[in-house]
C-alpha cells in the first residue's frame, strides 16, 4: 500500500483534523476513487508517523460522515456513489465596464442615499431593543414599521391602511410572489398585466401557476376596455406612473378599472412603485384609497431610498391574510420605521424631488435640442421618461449603437410583450444634469 495522504502543516489544527481534511479532500478531488480500500490504521499511522489512535479516530469520523465505509474484518474503504450528470448552469457574461452615461431606468439617485442618517436610525433602533425582540417576530413585519407605514401611506398616498393590514416584505418581487399565491388560492387563474410592463411581474405570475394576459397601454395608461374580454381574475397596474411608458392612468380609466373589478369580482393589484415623485401637479392618491377591499397595494423603499434597503410592503384588503412566506430582517424594518417616524424620509423626499425635477427638465431640454423628430412622454411623474423615436428608426440598432458609445439605456421593446413603434426608456434620476445634456448629445449619434 502506498501512502495515500500526507499531513500538510495547518496552523493550529490537530493531527487528527489534518488527516481527516486530507482524506476528505482526496475523496472529493477524485484522488481516492470510490471502493478503494484504505490502509489499516496501524499501517497508515506508521507511514504518517502518528499514533494509531489518530488514524482510528479520523477513520471513525469519516465513516460517521459517510466518506468512508467499514466492512467486516475492519477494512475501511472509500464509499461509492454514482454522481448526477452536471447540467450546465446559466453562463454569466463577464461583467462589462461601467457605462459613461447610465440611463437605465429603475434606480433613484444612489449618491443621495442618506447613509449617515440610515446607520444612525439603525443604531438607535437596535440600541433600545429588548433582547426578546431579536427572536422570531411577527411574519407580517415589525409593529413599529407597520404603524409607521400605515400613517405615511395614509397621509402621502391616500391609502386606507390600519397597521394590521400592512404586510412588510423583502421587496416587490417577494411581495408579488405572495400575492400571486394568494390570488391562486382564491381561484384566480388569469392575471392581466400591462404591455409594455415590468417583465418580472408577468414571470412571477407564471411561476405561481397563473396565466399572465397582456393588456395594451396608451397615453392614458392601461386600456381598461381591453380588459373585459380576457376573463382575468386580477390585474396588476401602475396607475400613478405606468412602467415603462410613464403614462398616468386617466381619471375615467381609474373609475372604469374599479367598475370592471367590481362587476367581474376581480382584484386590482396597484404597484405604486415611484408615485412619490410627481412634478406637474399634486400627486394623485392611490386607487386603493377608493376601494380598499378591492385593491391590493404594493410599494417599496427601492425608489424612495435605494434598492439596497431591500424592503417593500403590501396593504391588504380585510378579507386577505398573508401570514405565510418569509419576512424581512427586523433591524432594517426598525431602521425604516424610525426613518419614517422621525421625518427623515420626508426630508429626503423633499430634497430628491427637487433634484429629480431639475434632472427631468434637463432631459426635456436635451431631447428637444438634440433628438429632433423625437417626442418625449411619461414626464409627469417618476424617475424615467420615454423618448419616441422618429418613424423608421431602428430601436434595436439605436440601443446597440448607444451601448457601444458607453451609453446604457433600454429600448421600449425590452418591456413589450407585443411589438410597437421604436422608443427608448431613459432613467434620469441617477444621472447628474451635466451628464444628462452630454449623454443625450452623444445619444444623437447613435440614432439608427
Minimum CB distance to its own copies smaller for 260 or for 447: 260
Choices 144-152, 223-231, 251-259, 389-397 (CB under 8 A): range interacting with its own copies: 251-259
Three-state SS for the chain is CCCCCCCCCCCCCCHHHHHHHHHHHHHHCCCCCCCCECCCHHHHHHHHCCCHHHHHHHHHHHHHHCCEEECHHHCEEECCCCCCCCCCCCCCCCCCCCCCEECCCCCCCHHHCCHHHHHHHHHHHHHCCCHHHHCCCCCCCCHHHHHHHHHHHHHHHCCCCCHHHEEEECCHHHHHHHHHHHHHHCCCCEEEEEECCCHHHHHHHHHCCCEEEEEEEECCEECHHHCHHHCCCEEEECCCCCCCCCCCCCHHHHHHHHHHHHHCCCEEEEECCCCCCECCCCCCCCHHHCCCCCEEEEEECCCCCCHHHCCEEEECCCCCCCCCCCCCCHHHHHHHHHHHHCCHHHHHHHHHHHHHHHHHHHHHHHHHHHCCCCEEECCCECCEEEEECCCCCCHHHHHHHHHHCCEECEEHHHHCCCCCCCEEEEECCCCCHHHHHHHHHHHHCCCC
Interaction between residue 136 and its own copies (CB under 8 A) = yes
Residue 361 in grid coordinates:
427638465
Q: Between residue 72 and residue 101, which ones bind its own copies under the rule CB under 8 A?
A: 79, 81-87, 89-90, 98
Whole-number minimum distance, CB 72 to its own copies, in Å? 13
Q: Between residue 264 and residue 283, which ones bind its own copies under the rule CB under 8 A?
A: 265, 282
One of 35, 53, 231, 329 touching its own copies (CB under 8 A): 329
Interaction between residue 35 and its own copies (CB under 8 A) = no
Q: Are 237 and 223 in contact (CB under 8 A)?
A: no
Interaction between residue 306 and its own copies (CB under 8 A) = yes
Interaction between residue 151 and its own copies (CB under 8 A) = no
Interaction between residue 258 and its own copies (CB under 8 A) = yes
Choices 35-43, 229-237, 319-327, 359-367 (CB under 8 A): range interacting with its own copies: 319-327
Whole-number minimum distance, CB 139 to its own copies, in Å? 8
One of 40, 214, 216, 325 touching its own copies (CB under 8 A): 325
Whole-number minimum distance, CB 174 to its own copies, in Å? 3
Whole-number minimum distance, CB 209 to its own copies, in Å? 7
Interaction between residue 304 and its own copies (CB under 8 A) = no
Whole-number minimum distance, CB 285 to its own copies, in Å? 4
One of 31, 100, 189, 318 touching its own copies (CB under 8 A): 318
Report the C-alpha gap between 351 and 353 in whole angstroms: 6
Q: Between residue 191 and residue 250, which ones bind its own copies under the rule CB under 8 A?
A: 203-204, 207, 209
Choices 126-134, 346-354, 365-373, 377-385 (CB under 8 A): range interacting with its own copies: 126-134
Interaction between residue 119 and its own copies (CB under 8 A) = yes
Choices 41-49, 61-69, 189-197, 351-359 (CB under 8 A): range interacting with its own copies: 61-69
Q: Between residue 360 and residue 419, which ones bind its own copies under the rule CB under 8 A?
A: none
One of 26, 199, 291, 341 touching its own copies (CB under 8 A): 291
Interaction between residue 332 and its own copies (CB under 8 A) = yes
Minimum CB distance to its own copies smaller for 28 or for 31: 28
Whole-number minimum distance, CB 392 to its own copies, in Å? 34
Amino acid at each position: 500500500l502506498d501512502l495515500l495522504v500526507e499531513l500538510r502543516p495547518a496552523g493550529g489544527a490537530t493531527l487528527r483534523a489534518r488527516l481527516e481534511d486530507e482524506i476528505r479532500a482526496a475523496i472529493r478531488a477524485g484522488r481516492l476513487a470510490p471502493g478503494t480500500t484504505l490502509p489499516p490504521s496501524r499501517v497508515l499511522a506508521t507511514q504518517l508517523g502518528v499514533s494509531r489512535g489518530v488514524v482510528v479516530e479520523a477513520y471513525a469520523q469519516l465513516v460517521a460522515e459517510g466518506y468512508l465505509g467499514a466492512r467486516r474484518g475492519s477494512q475501511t474503504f472509500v464509499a461509492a456513489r454514482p454522481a448526477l450528470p452536471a447540467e450546465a448552469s446559466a453562463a454569466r457574461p463577464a461583467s462589462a465596464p461601467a457605462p459613461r452615461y447610465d440611463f437605465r431606468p429603475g434606480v433613484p439617485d444612489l449618491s443621495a442615499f442618506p447613509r449617515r442618517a440610515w446607520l444612525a436610525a439603525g443604531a438607535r433602533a437596535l440600541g433600545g431593543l429588548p433582547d426578546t425582540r431579536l427572536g422570531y417576530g411577527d411574519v407580517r413585519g415589525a409593529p413599529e414599521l407597520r404603524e409607521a407605514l400605515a400613517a405615511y401611506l395614509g397621509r402621502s398616498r391616500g391609502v386606507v391602511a390600519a397597521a394590521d393590514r400592512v404586510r412588510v416584505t423583502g421587496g416587490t418581487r417577494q411581495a408579488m410572489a405572495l400575492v400571486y399565491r394568494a390570488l391562486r388560492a382564491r381561484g384566480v387563474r388569469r392575471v392581466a398585466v400591462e404591455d409594455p410592463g415590468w417583465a418580472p411581474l408577468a414571470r412571477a405570475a407564471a411561476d405561481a401557476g397563473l396565466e399572465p394576459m397582456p393588456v395594451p397601454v396608451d397615453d392614458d395608461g392601461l386600456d381598461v376596455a381591453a380588459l373585459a374580454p380576457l376573463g382575468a381574475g386580477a390585474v396588476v397596474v401602475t396607475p400613478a406612473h405606468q412602467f415603462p411608458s410613464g403614462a398616468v392612468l386617466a381619471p375615467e380609466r381609474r373609475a372604469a378599472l374599479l367598475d370592471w373589478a367590481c362587476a367581474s369580482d376581480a382584484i386590482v393589484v396597484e404597484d405604486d412603485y415611484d408615485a412619490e415623485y410627481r412634478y406637474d401637479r399634486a400627486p394623485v392618491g392611490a386607487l386603493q384609497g377608493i376601494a380598499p377591499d378591492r385593491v391590493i397595494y404594493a410599494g417599496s423603499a427601492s425608489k424612495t431610498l435605494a434598492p439596497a434597503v431591500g424592503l417593500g410592503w403590501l396593504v391588504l384588503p380585510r378579507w386577505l391574510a398573508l401570514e405565510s412566506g418569509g419576512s424581512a430582517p427586523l433591524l432594517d424594518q426598525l431602521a425604516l420605521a424610525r426613518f419614517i417616524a422621525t421625518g427623515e424620509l420626508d426630508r429626503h423626499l423633499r430634497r430628491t424631488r427637487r433634484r429629480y425635477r431639475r434632472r427631468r427638465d434637463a432631459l426635456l431640454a436635451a431631447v428637444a435640442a438634440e433628438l429632433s423628430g423625437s417626442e418625449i412622454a411619461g414626464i409627469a411623474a417618476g424617475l424615467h421618461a420615454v423618448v419616441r423615436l422618429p418613424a423608421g428608426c431602428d430601436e434595436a440598432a439605436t440601443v446597440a449603437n448607444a451601448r457601444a458609445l458607453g451609453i446604457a439605456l433600454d429600448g421600449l421593446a425590452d418591456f413589450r410583450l407585443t411589438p410597437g413603434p421604436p422608443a427608448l426608456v431613459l432613467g434620469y434620476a441617477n444621472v447628474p444634469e451635466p451628464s444628462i445634456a452630454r449623454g443625450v448629445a452623444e445619444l444623437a449619434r447613435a440614432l439608427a
